Structure 1
Amino acid sequence: MGRLCKLHIQNDFKEFYTPQVTEGGVVCITRCDARHKTPLRCVYGSCSMTRAGPECECSDRAAFWYQDQVCRSRISKVGVAVGVPVAILVLVTIVFAIVLLRSQRQKEEYRNNLRSRSELYDSDDGNWDAPQGFAVGNPAATWEDMETPSTSYINLERVDTSRNIHIRRPTVVR
C-alpha cells in the first residue's frame, strides 16, 4: 500500500503522504487531513503542504502575532498597541497621585507647625505680647515704613492689677 502513494505523488512530497483505507478504497493523506493518525491541527489557520512538509498558515498575520507553529495562541497587535500605553498611563497616574497626596500631607504638617509657632507672634507691629500684658519689642521684625519702639513697654490694658508683685532686694556679694 505504501507504494501506491509513492507512484501517484510528486517526488518532493512523497515522504509526507501515507495511505489510508476508507470505504471507497485507499487514499493518500498527509497530516493536514483530519483522518490521519496524528493530524496537524491549525487552530487559527489552515494546514498546507510545502516541500518541508505540512505547515500551518496562520490567518490574519497582519492583526495577530502567533506564539507557536500551529497557530494556537495569538496576541492582538492592536490590543498591545493600545494596552501598553494605557497601562503606562495608569501607572504614571497612580505614581503621580501618590506623590501628590504625600506632598499635600507634608504641606499640611508644615502649615500646622507654622500655625503653632505663629501664635507666639500674633502682633503685626513686631512686638510679642504676653498674656499678662508685658511686651518685648523685636526690632528685627520691622517693615521699612514702620516705627519701632527702642525699648520694651507695658500694655496697661492687659495688666492684672489684683496680683501682688514681690521684688527681692538686691544683695551685695563680696
Structure 2
Amino acid sequence: MPGSVCFNTNFTAVHKIEVQEVEESLCDTYIQEEFRIYYTLYLTTAGVICITRCDPRHANPLPCVHGSCSVGQAGLQCECSDQVAFWYQDKACSSRISKVGVSVGVPVAVLVLVTTIFTILLLRSRRQKDQYRKKLKSRSELYTSDEGNWDGSQGFAMGNLAATWEDMETPNTSYINLERVDTSRTMHIRRPTMVP
C-alpha cells in the first residue's frame, strides 16, 4: 500500500545503551585544589563539563551586569568595566554612577541652590524696603497736614493750635525763650552713683 507505514523487524535494530553514573569528584581531577570548591558538574548533550557560577548555565549564576566574572584566589568576583569613568555601588557591578556626572552635577546643583536662596533673600529685602518706605511716607504725610491736625494710624488725633493760629497763646502752652538764658552761669551736676 502506498503511503502507509509498516513495521519490519528486519530493518529495525535496537541497541542497548548503558548510562553510567558520573562521579561528583570528576572535576577534582582536572581543577587545582584551591579552586575546586567553585566548580560543579554540568551535563550537556555532548558530555559532562565543569562550570563555575560565572557560567550562565549554572543553577545559581553570579550576575555581573557591567563587568566580567572571574575566579581568583579570593574566589568568585565581578571585575567591573570602566572603573575610570564610573563608581559601582555593589559587587555585581549592577548600579553605577558616572564620575563626570557627579563632578558636573554637584557644583551646578549647589550653584542653583545658592542662586535660589540669594534671589529669595533679595526679593524679601526689596519687599521690606518698600514697606518701610510706605510707612515713612505715611508718617511724613501725617505731620504735613494743612489743617494742623496730626492723625495717627490707630485713630489718635491731636490738634496743633499753634500751627493753625499763629501768634495765639493758649493757657496750656509753655515755652522757653532761649534769648533770656544766662549762658555764663556755671552749673554743677552730680555724678550718678552705682548702687550695688
Deviations 1:64-118 (A, max 9, x none): 1111110111111111111111111111111111111111111001111121223
| Structure with the largest fraction of strand | 1
Shift in Å at residue 131 of structure 1?
A: 6.8
Give CA-to-partner distance per residue, 1:8-56, whole Å, 9 cap, x none: 1112211111111101101000000011110001001010111222110
CA distance, structure 1, for counterparts of residue 97 and residue 162 of structure 2: 78
Aligned length: 134
Unaligned runs of 5+ in 2: 1-22, 150-160, 168-196
Q: What residue ranges of structure 1 are gaps of 5+ in the alignment?
A: 123-127, 137-151, 154-174
Which residue of the partner structure matches residue 62 of structure 1?
84
Structure 2: distance between partners of 1:6 and 1:62: 38
Q: Is the Cα contact below 8 Å between 1:129 and 1:135 reproduced in 2?
A: no
Shift of 1:129: 5.2
Give secondary structure in 2 for the equivalent of 1:57: strand
Alignment of 1:1-174 (within 5 A): 1-120=23-142, 130=147, 136=163
TM-score under structure 1 length normalisation: 0.69
Larger Rg, first or second structure (1 or 2):
2
Q: CA RMSD in A?
A: 2.4
Give TM-score, length-normalised by structure 2: 0.61
Identity of aligned residues (%): 60
